[in-house]
Structure 1
């Protein structure tokens, strides 16, 4: 069964990692997908690899005018937008004492402001379509504490999701957040953190780090009509980590 047949999805940070996993799955499930990412070479390569109903458009998620350009491009190519996955984000392996104001503002711009810009910018397109689903990728650090900057913004995404869900429900637009735990992606498996992550994974109740595809299955559910009565909620995919 094609769970997203006839739908059009815009996925930020879709060039690699979890975003690329979402893109591949959505295509398999019948959606037309716009990959939106700052990583132009990788994004175009993925779109060329998947072909057909998958396209790429460069997006700096911190720029409102760029959001508007990408949304208009998506409508021009595919005719509408049903789904927005706000997946783009960064982490920074710095302590509270080491992080600079410039670092902090960069994390806020990419992880938090971009989600607000994306939701607000896509609203006119979804209103024309008659509804839609917005999936905001937060983190378990939007549930429990962690690194300064990253935790702050991921809590903010959780809060924005709830506020947006209440505000957009009259337009038949659902908004939910997904909170992954430790996922095997390029962002967390960098050389300076890989050993730490592998050691930490032994303390996860599930006994391992998750594959991106395991998060994708939750994102797929929320993007599809199967979750038609779910809005304003957080969905945790962490192998039991926050259950302790």
Structure 2
């Protein structure tokens, strides 16, 4: 592939020859945390975003699509987003989610992808990029949470094998490992204030002090990396691991 010319901000996910934006499916994106930040950032660059989550979160999912439709972001085929119900643990749900065969970018923000999921998606021709969101529990050992930590190590391995298995289909796989991001879950357990970005409590402050920057991060700080992965700016990157953790100690 020839060297890529950097595009103007706001058009990085738009095909200049067709004028169409890349179709981006973001799992677990009914939330107001990283999922919402991902869909907003992708849409801002011209992508047609498929907001997806488990069926019972349909109301929140539609809230996300309505927010996008009210923005001044570019439209793809006359729209900016659609709601796609998807339980990532069900193979049939994956097949239904990509049944029209049009998908350029898959952001695995929810759950853990299995080899079966990869096979189902590959058969529907994802054409460009796949991003797995993990945490740095898969980078270092720890105490407790054995299942959680083990799954994150597996996530890294899955990305490496997908990078080696899927290039013939034009698919690149990357994994982003994050830590202490201000999500609904983090706020809900009392580590970050509900109405501000302030870290609170003994445990919250201890976690903040475990990275070089001594703070938590906003979902948009991860979303910036997601847009980079989804664009041609990362066209020679696959099987790569990216840390968004303030250099966890």
Structure 2 stretches lacking a partner, 5+ long: 1-7, 15-20, 70-78, 193-200
**Is the Cα–Cα contact under 8 Å of residues 133 and 174 in structure 1 kept in the other structure?**
yes
Residues 170-197 of structure 1 show CA distances to partners (whole Å, capped at 9, x for unaligned) of: 2221001000121010122223655323
Tell me, what secondary structure is at the counterpart of 1:213?
helix
Alpha-carbon distance between aligned partners in 2 of 1:156 and 1:192, rounded to the nearest angstrom: 29
Aligned to 1:18: 34
- State the Cα deviation string for residues 39-72 of structure 1 (Å, max 9, x = none): 2111111112212321111111100111111111
Q: 1:42 aligns with which of 55, 60, 67?
A: 60
Pick which of 53-62 and 194-203 moved more. 194-203
SS in 2 for 1:137: strand
Q: 1:7 aligns with which of 1, 15, 22?
A: 22
1:203 match: secondary structure: coil
2:122 maps to what in 1? 123
In 2, the alpha carbon distance for the partners of 1:136 and 1:239 equals: 19
RMSD: 1.7
- The CA distance in 1 between the partners of 2:109 and 2:190, in whole Å, is 23
Alpha-carbon distance in 1 for matches of 2:95, 2:204: 37
- Residues 213 and 118 of structure 1: is their aligned pair in 2 closer, same or farther, counting only changes over 3 Å? farther
Give the TM-score of the pair, scaled to structure 1.
0.81
CA distance in 2, matches of 1:62, 1:210: 28
C-alpha separation in 2, matches of 1:159 and 1:218? 20
For structure 1, the 5+ residue unaligned runs are: 89-110
Tell me which protein shows more helix as a share of its residues.
1
Aligned positions, number: 211
Q: Which residue of 1 aligns with 2:157?
A: 159
SS in 2 for 1:135: strand
In 2, the alpha carbon distance for the partners of 1:183 and 1:152 equals 20
Aligned partner of 2:227 among 217, 220, 226: 220
Which residues in structure 2 correspond to 1:80-229 (within 5 Å)? 80-88=102-110, 111-112=111-112, 114-126=113-125, 131-146=127-142, 147-191=145-189, 195=201, 196-229=203-236
Checking the alignment, whether the CA contact within 8 Å between 1:62 and 1:117 is kept in structure 2 is no
Distance 1:227 1:220 in 2: 9
Distance in 1 (alpha carbons) for counterparts of 2:147 and 2:86: 22
Q: CA deviation at 1:87?
A: 0.4
Within 2, Cα distance between the matches of 1:218 and 1:10?
A: 16
3-state SS of the aligned residue for 1:35? Answer: strand
Separation in structure 2 between the aligned mates of residue 119 and residue 14 of structure 1, nearest angstrom:
19
1:101 corresponds to: none
Q: When the two structures are superposed, what TM-score results if normalisation uses the length of structure 2?
A: 0.80
